[in-house]
Amino acid sequence: MVWFMTLTDIAKRLNKDHGHLPPVFFITDQQAVPAPEKVISGLPYGSAVILRDYDHPERENLGASLGIICRERGIKFLVARDTDLAASLVVDGMHLPEGCMDQAVEIRASHPHWMITVSCHDLASVTRAVNLPVDAGLIAPVFPTHSHPETFSGQKATLGLSAVRDMTTATALPLYALGGVTAENAKQLIDSGVVGIAAIRGFNDGRPD
C-alpha cells in the first residue's frame, strides 16, 4: 500500500517504466548531511550520487572516496559542474547547473558514454534542455525546501504539482523531482510524470530538503 512506502520505494514506483535510469539521485551537501557515505550505503543498486559540495576544502579527496563506495555498490557517481575534477576522478558522468547546461555539448563530444543531467527551474529551462545531449533533468524546487528557506515563507515560489505536470507533459526528457521531497509528500508525485526523485536530506532522515 502506498502510505507506508519509503521515499526510495516511491522513487522505484515512479521509475518502473524507466529502468535504464536511476530511481534516485542523492546530492551531497556536507553541511546538511555530514556523513554522505552512510546515505550511499543505504541506496539501492542502480541509484546515482551527485557530488555537489562546491566549497568543500577537500572536494577532490571526498569525490575519490565516495566514488569508490559507489562503484562497490553499483551506484552511478556524477560530479557537479567541475569538468576538470570529473576528468581527474573515475566517474559515470556530470551534473550541470541550469546556467551551465550548454556545456553538455562539449562534454558529450569528449565523453560520449557519460550520463549528463541538468538542473531546471521552469518550463523554459526544460525546453532548452531538450535540445541538448543530456539524459535527464532535475526540476526544482517542487516543494518548500530547507535548501531555500524562503520557500517556506512564500518569498520564493515552488513549482508545485501543476507546474511539474506541465513540464513532464511538454517533453520526453526524463525529469526528476527535487526540493523538499519526503516520503509523505512524494506520494503526490505518483502519476505526475516524473521518473524518480532527487534529494539531499530526504534519503538520510526523511526530513525535507
Task: Write down the pLDDT at residue 147.
Answer: 85
Q: What is the distance between the alpha carbons of residues 33 and 9, in angstroms, rounded to a whole number?
A: 21
| Assessment of whether the complete model's pTM goes beyond 0.85 | yes
- 161-165's contacts with Cβ under 8 Å and 24+ in sequence apart are 161/188, 161/189, 161/192, 163/122, 163/123, 164/139, 164/189, 164/192, 164/193, 164/194, 165/192, 165/193
Task: Write down the pLDDT at residue 4.
Answer: 56
Task: Write down the pLDDT at residue 182.
Answer: 93
Q: Who contacts 58 (Cβ-Cβ below 8 Å, separation ≥6)?
A: none
Q: Who contacts 109 (Cβ-Cβ below 8 Å, separation ≥6)?
A: none
Nearest of 19, 83, 95 to residue 50 by alpha carbon = 95
Task: Write down the pLDDT at residue 204.
Answer: 76
Nearest of 177, 100, 105 to residue 138 by alpha carbon = 177
Q: Tens of pLDDT along the chain (209 residues)?
A: 344 589 999 999 999 999 899 999 999 999 999 999 999 999 999 999 999 999 999 999 999 999 999 999 999 999 999 999 999 999 999 999 999 999 999 999 999 999 999 999 999 999 999 999 999 999 999 999 888 778 777 767 899 999 999 999 999 999 999 999 999 999 999 999 999 999 999 997 544 44
Specify the DSSP class assigned to residue 108. Answer: H
Nearest of 144, 140, 148, 153 to residue 98 by alpha carbon = 140
**Element spanning 98, H or E:** none
The mean predicted confidence, pLDDT, of the chain is 93
Task: Write down the pLDDT at residue 206.
Answer: 45
Task: Name residue, grid cell 541550469.
Answer: 98
Hey, what domains does the chain have and what are their CATH numbers?
A: 2-204 (3.20.20.70)
The three three-digit cell numbers of residue 78, written as one number: 556524477
Task: Write down the pLDDT at residue 155.
Answer: 65
Task: Write down the pLDDT at residue 145.
Answer: 86
